[in-house]
Amino acid sequence: MKKKIENTIHKLVSDLQDKQNAEGSWSFCFENSVMTDAYMIILLRSLDMHDEELVGRLVNRLWKLQTREGTWKLFEDEKEGNLSSTIEAYFALLYSGTVKDDDKRLEKTKHFIEKKGGLNDAHSITKFMLAINGQYDWKHLLPIPIEFLMIPKQFPLNFWDLSSYARAHLAPLLLLKDQQFSIKMNGIPQIKHLSRRSHEVNYSDRELKLFSKINEGLQSLINIPSHLHQQGRQFAQQYMLQRIEPDGTYLSYFSTTFYMIYALLALGYKKGDPIIIKAVQGLKKMACETEKGIHLQNSPSTVWDTALISHAIQEAGVNAGDHSIEKAVEYLLKKQHFRYGDWAMESGIKPGGWGFSESNTIHPDVDDSTAALRAITYSAAESPLIRQSWDRGIEWVIGMQNRDGGWPAFEKNKTKPLLTSFPMDGAEAAAIDPSTPDLTGRALEFLGSRAGLNKDHPQVKRGVQWLKLMQKDDGSWYGRWGVCYIYGTWAAITGMKATGVPSSDKHIQRAKAWLERIQHKDGGWGESCYSDQEKKYVPLPFSTPSQTAWALESLICIEDKPTPAIDLGIMALLDLINGTSDDPSKTYPTGVGLPGHFYIHYHSYRWIWPLITLSRYKEKYG
C-alpha cells in the first residue's frame, strides 16, 4: 500500500501542476445545479441581447441535466426532483425561444410542477425571478417597505444587522418590490396558470414579531419629512453601485448582479446603459466548461482553489521555492485586499483578508483568508515582503472573531436571532452570519499549525471553548459551508488538535467514535445533501472522495498509529481517486451555498482533499 500511496500522491501533484495557469492560479469549475444557467437565458432574452450561441449552449446543458421524470435536481439522491430548479429550467427553456410549450420533453415537467404545488411552493429566489417576468404577484412577496433601509444603525433592528449576503440581495429586491417591477415585452412565456388559484400568505408568530420591530423603527422616523420613501430608493441604488467590482458584477455574485440589473431597469436605466452592459459582460466571464456543457458559475472559485491547491501540493512535499508555488504565491499576494468593505464597520481592523473570486476586492471572508495564509506561510518565512502580507492577514483573521468566541464567514457579530424570521426562504441560514463550527475549526487549525498559537492563547482558548459547546449529542459538529456533519466534524477535530487539545479529550473521543460508526462497508464515507435540510446526518449510498478524505484526516490526526478504520479508509480513498470519471461520487456536490437551495460541486475537491489526507498519512505513519 505504501508504494500505491506514494504513486498516487505523485500523480495528483503532477496532474495539478499541469493544470496551473500561466499567471500562477488554478481555475476549476464552481458548479451548481441549473439556477444560474436558466437565469442567464432569461436575462439575455429580457435585455434583447442576441447571443444565440450562448443561449443555445445553455439550453443544451439544461436538456442534458433533465431527469427521466422530466424534472431537474439539486443533487443525485434528491427524490423525484427539485420544484424550484424544475420551474427555473422549464421557464428558461420556453423563454429561450428554441423550445415550444407543447414539446414532448416538457409534458412530465408541467405535471410535476402542478403536483408539487405549482409556483406558490417554489423558493423565494425563484418567485422573485418570476415576479420580475410578470408570472408571480409581487403582493405575495417581501412585505417590508423600502423605508426599512433608512432605520438608523443604533436602532435594535436595522438593515445593517443583516449578513452582507442578505443585504446584497435585499437592496435590489426591495427596489423591485417597491416599484412592483415587471418586464413588459413579447416572447415572455406565460406560466401563471401553474400557480394555485387561491393563495393565502400566513405569517408565523416570529415573522409577525419581526414586522412589529421593523414598524417600531419606522415609527421613530415619522417626524422626518415625507421624502423618506425617495431616500430609501436612493440608498438602495447607491448601496448597489458602490459595491460594483472592477469586472462590472455586484460583489462578484451572479445572483446579486442578476437582481441589480433589473433593479436598475426599475429605476429607469435603459437596457443599453454602460453599467448594465458591463454587468452582463462580467457575468459571461463566469462561464466554465463541464462534462454536460457550458455553465455559469455563481461566483468563480479561483482564489479559493489556488490557495487550497498550492497548500496541498506543499503538504505533499513540493518546496516553497518550486516555480509552481512561487507563481501561486505571487498570484495570491496580488489578490489580498487593501480596500475597506462593509466588514470594517464592526471590526475596526485594517484590510488584509482574501475573497473567493478573483474579481472580489471588497468582500473578503475568513475561510479564504486562512486558506491563502496557509498557502503563503513557508514563503513568508523566507521573504520579509511576503511576511508583511502574512502578518496583515493574520491580524485580519484574528480581528474577525465573534463575541461568542467562534468565527463567522464575512462580518463580525451579525447574529440577531430575530432576523432568521425574515420573510424569505433560507433566512435562517442567510439572514445572519453567525459563528459556525466549520469556519471556527478551520481558523483554529491555521492559527495552531501555522501561526504557532496554542489552546492557552486567549482568543484560541475562546474558540476551542465555543467549539466544544457546539458539539452535537452524537459527537458530530454541523458544517454550514460543506456537506455537512462530516465536514463540520473534520474542521472541529483538526482545529482543536492543531491548537494542542489532546486526543484523549472527551469531545475528540466522541467525535472519533461517531466517524467510525458512520464509515461505509467499503471503507469510505459519504453524506447526503439531505443532512443539510433535515439537520441530522443522512448517509449517501456511496462514498465520495472529499468526504472520505475529511473523515480520514480527522482520524489520522487523532491516532498515533493506523487503525483498521484508517487502513480500510485509505484503501477506499485510493479506489475513489482512481475510479472512472462517470462515477457519481466524483460529481456529487459536497459544498453548500444556501441550505436546501444551492449546493456546489467543486471540481477541484477530488484532488485537493485526498492529496492532503494521503500526505498526512505518509508523513505521520511513514
Evaluate if residue 225 carries a pLDDT over 70. Answer: no
Rg (CA), the chain: 24
**pLDDT at residue 204, as a whole number:** 78
pLDDT for residue 294? 97
Is the predicted pLDDT of residue 268 greater than 80, yes or no? yes
The pLDDT-based confidence of 590 (bands split at 50, 70, 90) is very high
> Given pLDDT bands bounded at 50, 70 and 90, which one contains residue 406?
very high
Establish whether 367 is a catalytic residue. yes
User: Is the per-residue pLDDT at 226 higher than 70?
Assistant: no
Local confidence band at 214 (pLDDT 50, 70, 90 cut-offs): confident
For the cut 70, the answer to whether the pLDDT of residue 223 exceeds it is no
Q: Give ∠ CA 353-354-356 in degrees, rounded to 5.
A: 145
589/548 Cα distance (integer angstroms): 14
Cα–Cα dist 434/38, whole Å = 31
Q: Percentage of the chain surpassing pLDDT 70?
A: 98
Query: Considering 305, 342, 365, 367, which one is annotated as catalytic?
Result: 367
Give pLDDT tens digits for 12-31: 999 999 999 999 999 999 99
Q: Which residues, at least 6 apart from 87, have a Cβ–Cβ distance to it below 8 Å?
A: 113, 119, 122, 126, 130, 191, 194
Flag the least confident range among 169-183, 184-198, 551-565.
184-198
Kindly state the helix (H) or strand (E) to which residue 430 belongs, with its residue range: helix 427-430
- Condensed to tens digits (0 to 9), the pLDDT of residues 287-328 reads 999 999 999 999 999 999 999 999 999 999 999 999 999 999
pLDDT of residue 12: 97
pLDDT at residue 202, rounded to an integer: 74
Q: What is the residue whose three cell numbers read 484526516?
A: 553
Which grid coordinates belong to 83?
Answer: 420544484
Predicted pLDDT at 207: 79
Q: What is the pLDDT of residue 585?
A: 83
Q: How is 301-366 classified by DSSP, letter by letter? A: -HHHHHHHHHHHHHHTT--TTSHHHHHHHHHHHHTS--S--TTHHHH------B-SSTT-SS--BH
Residue 280: what pLDDT? 98
Domains of the chain: residue spans and CATH: 30-296 (1.50.10.20)
Q: Please provide the distance, in angstroms rounded to a whole number, between the alpha carbons at the two ends of the chain.
A: 11
Query: What's the pLDDT at 561?
Result: 96
Task: Report the pLDDT value the prediction gives residue 222, as an integer from 0 to 100.
Answer: 64
C-alpha cell at 120: 406558490
pLDDT tens digits for range 39-80:
999 999 999 999 999 999 999 999 999 999 999 999 999 999
* Averaged pLDDT of the chain: 94
Q: Per-residue pLDDT for 260 more than 90? A: yes
Buried (b) or exposed (e) across 595-619, using 16+ Cβ within 10 A? bbbbbbbbbbbbbbbbbbbbbbbbe
Q: What is the pLDDT of residues 128-157, one digit of tens each?
A: 999 999 999 999 998 899 999 998 888 888
DSSP 244: B
Band of pLDDT at residue 208, cut at 50, 70 and 90: confident
Least confident residue range of 124-133, 343-352, 563-572, 601-610: 343-352
Residue 224 confidence (pLDDT):
59
User: What pLDDT was estimated at residue 578?
Assistant: 85
pLDDT value for 579: 75
* Average pLDDT, integer, range 431-438: 96
Structure confidence at residue 602 as a pLDDT band (50, 70, 90): very high
pLDDT at residue 180 is higher than 60: yes
pLDDT at residue 198, rounded to an integer: 60
Burial 230-240 (b: 16+ CB within 10 A, else e): ebbbebbbebb
Q: pTM for this structure?
A: 0.96
The predicted-structure confidence for 516-537, as pLDDT tens digits, reads as follows 999 999 999 999 999 999 999 9
- What crossing angle do the helices spanning 274-284 and 35-46 adopt, rounded to 10°? 150
**Phi-psi category of residue 82: left, alpha or beta, with phi > 0 → left and psi -120 to 50 → alpha:** beta
